[in-house]
Structure formats: C-alpha cells, structure tokens
A and B are shown apart, each in its own frame.
Chain A
C-alpha cells in the first residue's frame, strides 16, 4: 500500500524553523541580562526585535532586504565604538549580540543556520564563563532543546523542498501564516515524542560526556606545547668544554637579529654577551654549583633583580622615554635559553616577565627553557661601555649562606672563590706562576696593566687557528696549560681560558664570557644579522673596584688596549645580496606581524581614530561653510541673471536625474565598465542569465510566460544585434522581478 500522510507544508516547516531560531536567539540573549557589568542595550534591542517579529510575522516579512544590508553595515561602527572606548570582552559580547540579531531575523541557507547556532552557543558560553551561575545551566538546557529542534527542522525543510530550501520565497511563506497556535496545534503526538526522545538523549549523552571527558593538565601530560620547532642550533649552555663554541662557528645560520631604532651611534664591533662562567675544571668552564642552585630559585625574578640594580627596570611595556635608544632583539628558536645583551642598560622589556630569570652576579638573563619559537625583547638606554657593573658577592652570600651552612659544606671552588679557581694540577699551577712572574716581571700592577701584558704575551706565542691538536699530556694534564706551554695556534677559547688562568694566578678574579662578536648589517631593513659563525668567547676581569672589564685576548681584538669604538648607524656598510634580502623578509614578519601586540594595536587604533576624526572635522567645516554660502546666496537680492541661472541649474539637475533613471547600468557597473573589456550591457545580460540558470522557482503559468519573455529579451541583449534590443533598463527591471 502506498499512501502519503498529511504533513506540514514546506512553508509551515519554514515558519517553524524560523520560530525555533528566533527563540534560540532569545534564550542566548537572556544570558546577557545576567551580566551587570555590561551594557544591556543590545540585548534589550535584540529581545524586543525578536518578539516583535514573532508577534507580527507578516509585517516582518515585508521588511525589504536593503534594511538587513544596512543593518549589517551598521554593526561595524557599533562594534568599533566598543573597541575604541571599551575593553575587549564587552566589545566581543556586543559584536556577538548584534550578529545574533542580524542572523536570527535573516537566515535562509544551511550555513546561515549553522552560524546562528554557533553564535548563540558562543554567547552563552562567554556569559557562562563570566557569571558561572546556575541560570547558565538552565539557559544551556533550553538552548540545547531549541537547537536540536532548529537543526532538525532545517534538515526536514531541505528534504521537503527537494534540496531547494534556500530558494523558498519567504514573503509567500509568511503570507500564508495562520498564527503560531495553529502551527503548534498541527503537531502530532509522535513529533513531540520523537523530539522529547532526542532531547533526553542529547542531555543524557552530554552529561555522560561531561563527566567522562578526561581532565588532564596537558602542559605536563602532552608534550605538544613543549615540542621544539627546530633542532637546537647552538650549544650555549651552563657548561662549555674547550672547542664547543668553535664548533658553533661552523653553522652559518642567523641566530640573532637586532633592530636598532633611531639615528644613533652603534659599536663598530658589538659583543653580544650571553653568559659568564666562573668555575674551571680541566678545560671546562661552568657555573659553580652553589651559584647555579641559587639562580634557580625565586630570588632571580626580574622583580628581585631591582635590589641589585636600582638604576634598571624590567617591564612588559616599553617606557615612554622617547629619547632613549631602543635595541630590539629577535632570537631564533633553539639558540639558547640565555638571552644576548649588548652591555649595561636602563630598561629590559619582555612580554612575559614570569618566564624571565635574571642572574645579576653573572649579568645574564635567561628563560626557563630553550625556546621553541622566536623570542623578542627590547633593551633601552644601552651603554656600550665594555665594563659590566659588579654585584658584590658578599651581599649575595649573606642571604644564601645562612641556609646552605645548615645543609652542606661548600665545595672548594664555590662562588665567589671560583672566580680565582685554578687547575688542581700542582705542576700546572707552578707553570702558571712562572708565566705570571714572566709577564709582571715581579712588579706589582693593576688588573688592566696585567691583562694587557698577558694578552701581548699570548699573542707573541700563539696565532689564531680554528683547529688545534694538543700535544700528549706529559706531567701537566690541564689542556689549557699544555696549550700555553706549547707554541701551537689556537682559537678564541684557548686564548680566553689561558688569559683567565693567568689573571687568576696573578690574583685577579676573572671569568669567561660566551656570546657573539660582530654581526652583519642588513642594508635592506637596517638591522644586525648575527650568525652562529659569529660565536665567540672572551674574558671579563674584575677591576678591583666595582666592575668587570672586557678583555678579548684573541688576536685581532684590541681590547682592553682601546676603548669601544662607535660609528653612526647610517655609516654601517652591510650585506645587500639575495640572502640578506630573504632574511630581511623574515625580519619584516617579526616586526610587523609577530611583534604586533596590544600596545601597537592600541596605538594603531588611536592613530586611525585621530585620522578619521580629523577628516570628519574637515568635512563638517566644509559642509558648514558651504551651507553658509548657499544661504547667503539665497537671501541676497535676486536679479534676472540669478533667477535664470538658478532655473537652468534646476533644469539640469532634473535632466540628470531623469537621465540617470533611464540608465540600464547602476553606478558601480558604470564605474567598472571603464576597466573591463566588452559591452557592459551584454556583460550584465550574461550575468543575469547565468544567475537564472542556477535558480529555479515554482511559478504560475502566467509568471512562466513572463519569465520566458524576459529570458528571450535577455538573450537578445546578450547575443543579438543592437537594433533588435528592447530597452535594456526595462529588461533588467523585468528580470529582477521575474527571474
């Protein structure tokens, strides 16, 4: 037996779907009433509009589509005002509310239905997160019921209309509306039963899912956020063996980019200081264990570092001092957790200060882990002076010793004694004493004088070489002392280590510093490109007073004999080849996209606001002056010439208006016609015909006849001779009506 059951008509399902969508929007907007801190105006407007449309659906259906288009455009300034004057959350909530109003009253396609559901859910979740009240639970419950009804009605409508739900004539659908009560009364008990079952199933399964969704701390359990974007590029760590820095030099990749703001003097050969190492043991420099331990506690936060450096600031926002020079550093992923700095500074700006660890005794700045993404920070008021201020060790120890004494004894070379640490090998020590005697010739001298002579001594006996083959150990095990004994060439680490041992043997505290020296200037985007091949090791020696001065004993460097030379930034001659250009694109990305933060965004918004206000002011002035001129022209005595002039102007205006009404093309098409090839009328006819091909409507016989006639006219416009054309304006007008 084949029988069709009497069911809802397509129009009835359409109206039902619309009602459910409107109610869903209403429920989500009531959530806004829970928020006392937000303006309730959009919610009240939305609720009023929705209920007005529910009560007067026929009037609602008569609203021309242009109203919705205008409304969509009005949303932009409404939200812009919120963004400019308010905070982010209210702006977001208001944007969501306006969009819900727009979409709830104006949805036809499947994707628009989906948008409405998601907008409502988003608003509910947002308000729920802000209030976390029980009412939210009820609202979510109502929303769920309405959402499943709405989506199911959408699916049924699509099937009922043979996949043409988007082409349903909304106006006709509403004109046949006989009232909501009539619609609800035609429901069958089976529909209610199926709907209730689905709702119960939804709530039940959602409840189970809510209970059993595993709550895990993904930062600890899943390694997703700790994954490294790239393999580690360098080996800058808290312990450096001889040759490790030199190995880094084989890597030609850019490790660091430094953007210099303003026109200023920059060092001719910058030293990008990353880390100082105090403890020495058999060719390996490292941070002494007690210092390392102390640096990992809470005493090393930027906030605590102010105790040591009263003249420095650490902030997450740049200072307002425009006179300061600003050095923005972009460190590539995987380089090191230690951040390079140029020297002393006034302010260190870093977005996430909680991640920053400051080591005042070593004048080092590090992150908790080697970053897996690009890290940027800014230094202000940088001092290129080669001296690093000392943080007195006793002050540090006062706080540390109390606790450590109770637990364990210091190893023999703990900080600050480690700064004078020598090889344990007795023969090595004796040899170092001999060399020190040889350098100082028994004359007491200060640190600067000694290291100057020691540097000269090293340069006389050794040349620079990237590869070193140390002789077999004979009596002395320490590799640095063995190298010192020989006449072999060596790399920067041998020179630096040797000088440190000599200085320490002479009684001057010293430490090795690792980082980068030099760097290429990118001529395209004006910044330093520091490559791994610029990795370098040098020394810092305590001057006996309050600072550490830089010594670079590697041949070719003049420190500390000469002071740091500076050059004007515009005098920098840099790289301008293809590779430099490619690298400059990356810098552009960092500067404009990655570093685009809230501050920059705010500045940009203010700039735009000022710009528009200035234009509005200018336009307002112009309108007022023009109005005054017109007014004075009208109230002035009228002559015959003036009368004829005004009449002509009126006639011309009327003619222009009439001419415009006769045009087949609108202003946009007229404007675009100059940029397009071919006849604009034929183009438009083709476009209209194409649109017709994708659109099919059920029409009466009369309408079908009209439609066929319009199609014939359009085809004539598209393909026919010009003398066979009907009036294109009328054809297009008819096409709008019948197609």
Chain B
C-alpha cells in the first residue's frame, strides 16, 4: 500500500517514514494504543457535538423514542468517522524539513516542509504543521492547502525573517490531521529538526581613512558591494556584478553591458581578528553591533579581494580563499557568545590586522596598526 522509502536519499519523518511498510494489524493496534506522542483530541465543535450527543442520548433513553436513537447513532457515527478518517489520512504521510542555505538577520529566508503522500490510491488532505524556531521561539502554522495525490509531494514554505544572530533550531513540533469533519484532531509528533546559522545583519559603517590602494577607505560606505583595484580589462556583465563596476561608455558603444575587471590587491591584504571577551564588550548591544560590523567588513573586504585571514580569538585562523571560507567564518560569527573568555595569549597586533574595539561606549571601531579605519 505504501511506497517503499528504501531508495530515498532524504531523511523522512512521520507515520510513513519507515523503510518497510508496517503491517495493517500494527496500524490497527495503534488506533487503540497510540504510539508515544500521538493523540486524538476533540476540537471545539467536536466537544459541542459530544455534549449534544450526551443530551440527545439522555432524551432518547428517557423517552425511548427511536427517532432520537437514530439521531444519536448519526452523531456517534460522525464522531467515529471523524476519528477514523483523520487517523487514516495521516497514517500514510511523511515529511521532512528543509531550510535556506543561509539566513541573515533582517532578510527573508525559507523554511519549508516537504510532505509526501506514501499512499497508492487515495490523496492526502488537510494537514497542519506546527513548526518554529526553538531558539527565538518564533512559530508558524503551515496548512496543506492542496491535496497531495498518491506518491506525490508538496512543499509548504514559511518565509522566516530572523531577528537575532544565533544558531537557530527549526523544528516541526506537531502535525495535525483534521480531515474530514474537524470534530477530532489527530496529533502526531513532527520529529524533524534542522539547525541553521543566522548571520549577523549587514550594517552601514563609516570609513575613516584610506590605507594603501586596496580597499580604498573613502568616506562612508554603502550596503552595496563595491569594487576596487587596478583596471586590467573588461568583460561581459554577469549576474551579481555591482552596478558601479559597469563601464557605461563601453556598454553604450557595444550595446551590451560591460563591466570593469580589477586586479587583486597585492600589497594590502587584511586579517580580521575578533575578540569576544567580556572585558572588552561590557554591553551586549555593543557586542551585537560589533558582530554585524565584522560580518559586513569581512564581506566587503572579501569582495574587494583584500581579505586574507579571519580569526576569532580562541579559535582557528581561517584562510579566506573562496566564498565557502567566508561562509564558515560568518558561521562562527553567528555562533559567537557574548562574554566567552579565551586563554589565547597570542599577540593580536600584527601588521594589517584589523581588530575591533568599543570606541565611546556605544560605537565600535575597526583598528589597523593602531589607527581606527572604520567605525559603526
């Protein structure tokens, strides 16, 4: 009856997630002795129906009127069917949780439940997934808005905009089936859990002084990614290129977008060193500001090709060559704990090493060789 999941590469959860289909007798037994975490609860209308059934039953027994007994049997059947169908609806469902590769504070990310109907004949109806982020305690209800045909799946998406830098734990707390009448709800534990790192938000910072010819510290920066370095050639525009890198004159001449290609900086590559010690960051909000600043600066330096190493005091130094290296550094930043002490006694002040320090109790400065080059 159920599709075998043996060839699946995904980790499914739910009643039909087993590698081999359970015998019908086991399923039948589970109606009366439900597995741990599963329960059938009446909804408000179900409670009302049960109450009216009791009243009708009392009237039927008092009057011994068969019309009332007929109505009573109808109500009882409604409740029985509601329980049976909501159980049989969910029994062949399985689901998994998917999330965006990266989450960033203040930007939309996707948390999706992929639900599959493991039946061969009947569609899957009306499921409700109650999921959320356990770290930030944000929850959402996802409804299966369309029925799922046998053997097919549906993707339910929760657009999630994180508010805080952290390591989020997304979890399906519970799945509920209320089909067909909604008198009884079958609740099943969601079981799925996915961890995701929420990177700090991009922040605007002020560049204070130009160093060398690399990154080009000229006045205030913007959130838009910039480019720098010596012009070595031109190429066709590709998706993701900064608008400022477009060579408008050549583009106008050729009738297609052409961007400037810059040489990588060779003389001024920087290393970012982040010290999360509490003595340095007495206030948490300043610490969070620093994390956002670090992430933004790291990205900008990487795009400019000026980022050499990144390191969190107490951790390993990450050589930044590819986007994945930067991502792993940002992952570490997302997991930074305010006030974590380290026993790292290494001299932080090295040549072209960017360190971060609070300036006036509120703002954060990026310091290179004793000079504040940027602040936020």
Q: Which of A114, A163, A190, A198 contacts B49 (CB 8 A)?
A: A114
**Chain A residue at minimal CB-CB distance from B58:** A218
Chain B 177-209 interface 0/1 with A at a Cβ cutoff of 8 Å (1 = within): 011111100000000000000000000000000
Q: Does B48 contact A (CB under 8 A)?
A: yes
Taking a contact as CB atoms under 8 Å apart, the answer to whether B153 and A1 are in contact is: yes
Name the distance in Å between A108's Cβ and chain B's nearest Cβ.
14
Taking a contact as CB atoms under 8 Å apart, the answer to whether B126 and A136 are in contact is: no
Chain B residues contacting A206 (CB-CB under 8 Å) are 70, 73-74, 76-77
Q: Does B268 contact A (CB under 8 A)?
A: no
Chain A residues contacting B72 (CB-CB under 8 Å) are 209, 213
Chain A 25-40 interface 0/1 with B at a Cβ cutoff of 8 Å (1 = within): 0000000000000000
Chain B residues contacting A364 (CB-CB under 8 Å) are none
Q: List 21 A-B contacts (CB under 8 A).
A: A1-B152, A111-B44, A114-B49, A118-B52, A121-B75, A136-B67, A151-B180, A155-B179, A155-B181, A156-B179, A159-B126, A159-B143, A159-B144, A160-B146, A161-B145, A162-B145, A163-B141, A201-B81, A202-B77, A206-B70, A209-B76
Known contacts: A114-B48, A125-B67, A140-B74. The answer to whether A151 contacts B182 by CB under 8 A is: yes
Chain B 76-106 interface 0/1 with A at a Cβ cutoff of 8 Å (1 = within): 1110110001000000000000000000000
The CA of A483 and the CA of B49, in the complex, are separated in Å by 68
Chain B residues contacting A113 (CB-CB under 8 Å) are 45
Taking a contact as CB atoms under 8 Å apart, the answer to whether B70 and A140 are in contact is: yes
Taking a contact as CB atoms under 8 Å apart, the answer to whether B61 and A216 are in contact is: yes
Within 8 A of B (CB), among A136-156: 136, 140, 144, 147-148, 151-152, 154-156
Taking a contact as CB atoms under 8 Å apart, the answer to whether A205 and B45 are in contact is: no
**Chain A residue at minimal CB-CB distance from B75:** A121
What 10 A-B pairs come out closest when comparing CB atoms? A209-B73, A210-B73, A159-B126, A206-B77, A152-B180, A128-B67, A151-B181, A205-B77, A155-B182, A114-B45
Q: Does B30 contact A (CB under 8 A)?
A: no
Chain A 326-354 interface 0/1 with B at a Cβ cutoff of 8 Å (1 = within): 00000000000000000000000000000
Chain A 247-277 interface 0/1 with B at a Cβ cutoff of 8 Å (1 = within): 0000000000000000000000000000000
Q: Does B173 contact A (CB under 8 A)?
A: no
Name the distance in Å between A252's Cβ and chain B's nearest Cβ.
37
Chain A residues contacting B48 (CB-CB under 8 Å) are 111, 114, 118
Taking a contact as CB atoms under 8 Å apart, the answer to whether B126 and A155 are in contact is: yes
Q: Does B248 contact A (CB under 8 A)?
A: no
Most chain A beta-carbon neighbours within 10 Å: one of B48, B147, B149: B147
Q: Does A737 contact B (CB under 8 A)?
A: no
Size range of the chain A interface in the assembly: 35 or more
Chain A residues contacting B145 (CB-CB under 8 Å) are 159-162
Taking a contact as CB atoms under 8 Å apart, the answer to whether B73 and A213 are in contact is: yes
The CA of A213 and the CA of B80, in the complex, are separated in Å by 14
Chain B residues contacting A148 (CB-CB under 8 Å) are 78, 81, 180-181
Taking a contact as CB atoms under 8 Å apart, the answer to whether A210 and B70 are in contact is: yes
Q: Does B108 contact A (CB under 8 A)?
A: no
Chain A residues contacting B127 (CB-CB under 8 Å) are 159
Within 8 A of A (CB), among B327-375: none
Name the distance in Å between A29's Cβ and chain B's nearest Cβ.
17
The CA of A113 and the CA of B143, in the complex, are separated in Å by 20
Most chain A beta-carbon neighbours within 10 Å: one of B70, B80, B85, B152: B70
**Chain A residue at minimal CB-CB distance from B56:** A125
The CA of A14 and the CA of B100, in the complex, are separated in Å by 34
Taking a contact as CB atoms under 8 Å apart, the answer to whether B125 and A156 are in contact is: yes
Taking a contact as CB atoms under 8 Å apart, the answer to whether A121 and B73 are in contact is: no
Chain A residues contacting B122 (CB-CB under 8 Å) are 194
Segment with Cβ contacts to B, from A3-11, A644-652, A687-695, A721-729 = A3-11
Taking a contact as CB atoms under 8 Å apart, the answer to whether B44 and A2 are in contact is: no
Taking a contact as CB atoms under 8 Å apart, the answer to whether B180 and A198 are in contact is: yes
Q: Does B277 contact A (CB under 8 A)?
A: no
Chain A residues contacting B61 (CB-CB under 8 Å) are 216, 218
Q: Does A215 contact B (CB under 8 A)?
A: yes
**Chain B residue at minimal CB-CB distance from A7:** B146
**Chain A residue at minimal CB-CB distance from B52:** A118
The CA of A358 and the CA of B146, in the complex, are separated in Å by 73
Q: Does B68 contact A (CB under 8 A)?
A: yes
The CA of A140 and the CA of B69, in the complex, are separated in Å by 13
Known contacts: A155-B180, A213-B72. The answer to whether A198 contacts B81 by CB under 8 A is: yes
Taking a contact as CB atoms under 8 Å apart, the answer to whether B114 and A2 are in contact is: yes
Chain B residues contacting A140 (CB-CB under 8 Å) are 70-71, 74
Chain A 176-219 interface 0/1 with B at a Cβ cutoff of 8 Å (1 = within): 00000000000000100010001001100111011001011110
The CA of A136 and the CA of B71, in the complex, are separated in Å by 11
Q: Does B15 contact A (CB under 8 A)?
A: no
Name the distance in Å between A396's Cβ and chain B's nearest Cβ.
38
Within 8 A of B (CB), among A153-176: 154-156, 158-163
Taking a contact as CB atoms under 8 Å apart, the answer to whether A125 and B73 are in contact is: no
Taking a contact as CB atoms under 8 Å apart, the answer to whether A202 and B153 are in contact is: no
Chain B residues contacting A205 (CB-CB under 8 Å) are 77, 80-81
The CA of A75 and the CA of B73, in the complex, are separated in Å by 32
Within 8 A of A (CB), among B28-81: 44-45, 48-49, 52, 56, 61-62, 64-65, 67-78, 80-81
Chain A residues contacting B143 (CB-CB under 8 Å) are 158-163
**Chain B residue at minimal CB-CB distance from A211:** B73
Chain B residues contacting A215 (CB-CB under 8 Å) are 64, 69
Q: Does B159 contact A (CB under 8 A)?
A: no
Q: Does A132 contact B (CB under 8 A)?
A: yes
Known contacts: A2-B114, A163-B143, A201-B81. The answer to whether A155 contacts B73 by CB under 8 A is: no
Taking a contact as CB atoms under 8 Å apart, the answer to whether B182 and A202 are in contact is: no
Taking a contact as CB atoms under 8 Å apart, the answer to whether A5 and B149 are in contact is: yes
Taking a contact as CB atoms under 8 Å apart, the answer to whether A121 and B152 are in contact is: no
**Chain A residue at minimal CB-CB distance from B72:** A213
Known: A125-B56, A190-B123. 7 other contacts (CB 8 A): A110-B182, A114-B49, A155-B182, A158-B143, A158-B182, A202-B77, A202-B81
Q: Does A571 contact B (CB under 8 A)?
A: no
Within 8 A of A (CB), among B121-155: 122-123, 125-128, 141, 143-149, 152-155
Taking a contact as CB atoms under 8 Å apart, the answer to whether A5 and B147 are in contact is: yes
Taking a contact as CB atoms under 8 Å apart, the answer to whether A209 and B146 are in contact is: no
Taking a contact as CB atoms under 8 Å apart, the answer to whether B141 and A125 are in contact is: no
The CA of A129 and the CA of B143, in the complex, are separated in Å by 42
The CA of A161 and the CA of B143, in the complex, are separated in Å by 8
